[in-house]
């Protein structure tokens, strides 16, 4: 397990990837909540022309990448605000336009110094020291900004109208967010390449809807994506698969796992809930049946289908001289169901629907139904 | 005392006039109802008051001749609940607490006192027990209570409510009216966009709006057959 850690390139890759995972975890909950998840995708493709032009002008790739990323983001925002084209289409236009421009310029230069394959798919195992400094610097800027303006970013993402009404600078925060997204995407591109960086963003944000609060999504995102990065790099080392794709495959597996076991919306919990609901309905129906039977003075020995012992144990019925008698507690329980049924039937004039709804009627609903029917 | 004055307000949407020469005055300690058909410009009127839409002409002044941006913390807006993203990962308490943000400005975090005000608003709307729920788990009536709790939490003097009674149950409706009456007794101005004529008796003043003001006054005085015909007939659409 510690063998890869003897190699400096592996430690560098591990460090850089974890930093990127943390950075994108801070940004992505806002992107998905704002329905901007495609923005990360678009921006990652938009860095290509910047990198190509930076090469021609002999300036650092990073500057070109950030520059063209922000320019594309602004262009997309401009299409969205000035035409009737919707956000996702506008992003699509920006994405394909910028990417095509980038590939076109690249094909013009035909240089041996920049490798299109590496830009597209990344090579985190060949990361340079200057890249590490860059990635760390971006992480500090992004995390610092989000933590400092957390309240503002949450309000802006949740309710832009209120943000404006309360006097906060709306356009300023729009560009602030675009710049934060752009620089963090650029830092991801350095490590895992264009194709993979866009998916990194999309995956880590997909956990969002399974959790309660944005701050928890950030924490959870950091945990899951860091683990994915570590597992991805290890499997890359031992199984000899490309590092970027390995990370994303593991992220996807985690997503599927979360989808299944999530305590709130997971598949398992839903199956359990359904089972419990069916049991409850069955139990309530038995209760009603038993009540009817006891009202008709039937004897215990006549009843075959209902297990009375359970109801006796729960203190719902008693047996007197071989006759079933409902206790006070039992009466309250059964009367609530009968009452709900009567109200629904009076309201909707349908016995069959009332038969179903009676199982889901709590006190609040009974009160409301009472109100409505009395008001008629 | 007057809390809001609208003079000669005209608003266009692209080339179509949505509001034409609106003149209205609102007083403290009163509940106003605005009714009118779909597309009558009711929401547009609110957005103009809040400065979210640019008016072609006209003047909107609050209290003693103040502009919106001078008194923004005094004006609470409750939007139609349909336009809020109820899937957003946020709790009921956090949404209500947002009502304090207008007093905080940039960078400042809500204090203990702000949180207490939010808790009181939650209790007032009978949703304190839901405070730690994610907003996606609420019913329609509960969602409406959350939005109104946020407005109460802002502690404003003028309340603009866009269709607060849409899709809420009878109990919520009664609870909300109790709260509006309490605000009224504290000298607040409450302006409510409504669509249901059965409720209008609850308002002190009723404004019939269909791009222009058709009538304004006590509900039983303005709800004449002529006025209602003018309000709901389509004859103004061709302007």
Contact by Cβ (8 Å): B146, A348? no
Nearest residue on chain A to B132, alpha-carbon basis: A212
Q: B8: number of CA atoms within 13 Å, CB side? A: 4
Q: How far is A84 from chain B (nearest CA, A)?
A: 13
Three-state SS at B205 = strand
- Report residue A340 as tokens: 């709900």
Predicted pLDDT of residue A150 = 95
Measured between beta carbons, the chain B residues lying within 8 angstroms of A220 are: none
The SS3 assignment for A147 reads helix
Closest CB to B109 among A151, A167, A212:
A151
Q: What are phi and psi of B113, to 5 degrees?
A: -65, -40
Q: Please, where in chain A does CATH 1.10.10.10 lie?
A: 269-375
Q: Test A214 with B90 for CB contact under 8 angstroms.
A: yes
The least confident of A133-137, A201-205, A296-300, A303-307 is A201-205
* Cβ separation B90–A152 shorter than 8 A: no
- Tell me what pLDDT residue B239 has: 44
Which residues of A are less than 8 Å from B171 in CB distance?
A: 364, 367-368, 371
Per-residue pLDDT tens digits of chain B, which is 239 residues long: 889 999 999 999 888 889 999 999 999 999 999 998 888 899 999 999 999 988 889 999 999 889 999 999 999 999 998 889 888 889 999 999 999 999 998 888 999 999 999 999 999 999 999 999 889 888 888 999 999 999 999 999 999 999 999 888 888 888 899 999 999 999 999 999 998 888 888 899 999 999 999 899 998 888 888 888 888 876 545 44
CB contact under 8 A, A157 and B88: yes
Q: How far is B143 from chain A (nearest CA, A)?
A: 15
Measure in Å the smallest separation between the Cα of A43 and chain B Cα atoms. 24
Is any Cβ of chain B less than 8 angstroms from the Cβ of A1? no
Domain count across chain B: 1
Q: Classify residue B91 by its DSSP letter.
A: B
User: Cα distance from A79 to chain B (closest Cα, Å)?
Assistant: 18
Closest CA to A31 of A104, A87, A75: A87
Q: What is the mean pLDDT of residues A152-174?
A: 92
- Of 1.10.10.10, 3.50.30.20, 2.115.10.20, 3.40.50.300, the CATH number of A269-375 is 1.10.10.10
State whether A165 and B109 contact (CB < 8 Å). no
- Tell the burial category of A365 from Cβ atoms under 10 Å away from its Cβ (0-12, 13-18, 19+): middle
Give, as one character, the DSSP assignment of residue B109: P
Residue A203 reports pLDDT greater than 60? no
Where in the sequence is the domain holding B212, given as residue range(s)? Answer: 2-236
pLDDT for B238 equals 47
For B51, what's the count of Cα atoms within 13 Å in the CB-facing half-sphere? 17
Instruction: From residue B1, give the alpha-carbon distance in Å to each of A8, A89, A258, B30.
Output: 76, 51, 58, 11
Task: State the CATH number of the domain containing residue B152.
Answer: 3.40.50.300
Q: Nearest chain B Cα to A374, which residue?
A: B170
In the CATH hierarchy, which top-level class contains the domain A3-263?
Answer: mainly alpha
What DSSP string describes A159-223? -HHHHHHTT--HHHHHHHHHHHHHHHHHHHHHHHHHHHHHHHHHHHHHTGGGSS-HHHHHHHHHH
| pLDDT (average), residues A116-121 | 70
* Separation between Cα atoms, residue A322 and residue B87, nearest integer Å: 55
- The boundaries of every CATH 1.10.3470.10 domain in chain A are 3-263
Would the ipTM clear 0.85, i.e. be above it? yes
CB contact under 8 A, B89 and A214: yes
Count Cβ atoms within 10 A of the Cβ of residue A296 and give its class: 0-12 exposed, 13-18 middle, 19 or more buried.
Answer: exposed
Token digits of residue A362: 């709590």
Query: Coil, strand or helix: which one is B166?
Result: coil
């Amino acid at each position: 397990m510690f063998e890869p850690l003897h190699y400096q390139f592996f430690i560098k890759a591990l460090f850089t990837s974890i930093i990127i995972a943390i950075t994108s975890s801070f940004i992505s909950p806002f992107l998905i909540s704002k329905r901007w998840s495609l923005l990360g995708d678009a921006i990652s493709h938009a860095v290509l022309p910047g990198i190509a032009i930076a090469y021609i002008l002999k300036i650092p790739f990073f500057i070109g990448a950030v520059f063209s990323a922000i320019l594309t983001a602004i262009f997309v925002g401009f299409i969205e605000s000035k035409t009737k084209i919707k956000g996702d289409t506008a992003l699509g236009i920006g994405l394909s336009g910028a990417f095509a421009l980038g590939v076109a310029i690249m094909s013009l230069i035909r240089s041996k110094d920049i490798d299109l394959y590496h830009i597209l798919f990344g090579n985190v195992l060949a990361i340079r020291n200057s890249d590490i400094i860059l990635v760390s610097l971006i992480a500090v800027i992004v995390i610092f900004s989000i933590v400092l303006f957390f309240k503002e970013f949450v309000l802006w993402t949740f309710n832009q109208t209120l943000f404006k009404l309360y006097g906060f600078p709306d356009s300023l925060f729009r560009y602030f967010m675009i710049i934060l997204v752009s620089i963090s995407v650029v830092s991801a591109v350095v490590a895992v390449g264009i194709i993979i960086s866009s998916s990194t963003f999309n995956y880590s944000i997909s956990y969002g809807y399974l959790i309660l609060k944005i701050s928890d999504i950030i924490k959870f995102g950091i945990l899951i994506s860091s683990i994915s990065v570590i597992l991805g790099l290890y499997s890359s080392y031992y199984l000899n698969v490309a590092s970027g794709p390995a990370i994303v495959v593991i992220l996807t597996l985690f997503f599927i796992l979360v989808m299944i076991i999530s305590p709130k919306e997971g598949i398992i919990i839903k199956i359990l809930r359904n089972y419990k609901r069916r049991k409850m309905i069955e139990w309530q129906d038995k209760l009603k049946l038993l009540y009817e039977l006891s009202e008709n003075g039937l004897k215990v020995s006549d009843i075959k289908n209902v297990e009375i012992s359970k109801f006796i144990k729960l203190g719902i019925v008693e047996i007197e001289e071989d006759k079933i008698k409902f206790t006070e507690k039992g009466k309250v329980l059964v009367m609530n169901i009968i009452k709900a049924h009567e109200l629904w039937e009076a309201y909707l004039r349908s016995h069959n629907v009332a038969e179903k709804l009676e199982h889901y009627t709590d006190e609040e609903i009974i009160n409301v139904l009472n109100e409505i029917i009395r008001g008629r | 005392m007057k809390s809001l004055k609208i003079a000669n307000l005209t608003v266009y949407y692209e080339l179509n006039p949505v509001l034409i020469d609106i003149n209205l005055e609102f007083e403290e300690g009163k509940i106003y109802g605005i009714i009118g058909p779909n597309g009558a410009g009711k929401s547009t009127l609110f957005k103009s008051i809040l400065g979210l839409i640019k008016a072609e002409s006209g003047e909107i002044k609050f209290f003693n001749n103040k502009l919106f941006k001078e008194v923004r913390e005094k004006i609470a807006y409750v939007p139609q609940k349909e336009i809020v993203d109820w899937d957003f990962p946020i709790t009921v308490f956090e949404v209500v607490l947002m009502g304090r943000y207008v007093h905080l400005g940039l960078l400042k975090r809500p204090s203990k006192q702000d949180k207490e005000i939010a808790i009181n608003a939650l209790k007032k709307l009978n949703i304190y027990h839901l405070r730690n729920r994610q907003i996606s788990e609420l019913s329609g009536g509960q969602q409406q209570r959350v939005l109104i709790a946020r407005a109460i939490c802002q502690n404003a003097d003028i309340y603009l409510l866009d269709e607060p009674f849409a899709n809420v149950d009878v109990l919520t409706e009664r609870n909300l009216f109790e709260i509006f009456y309490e605000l009224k007794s504290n000298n607040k101005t409450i302006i409510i966009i409504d669509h249901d004529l059965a409720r209008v008796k609850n308002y002190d003043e009723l404004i019939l709006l269909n791009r222009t003001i058709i009538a304004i006054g006590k509900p039983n005085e303005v709800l004449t057959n002529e006025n209602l015909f003018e309000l709901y007939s389509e004859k103004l659409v061709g302007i």
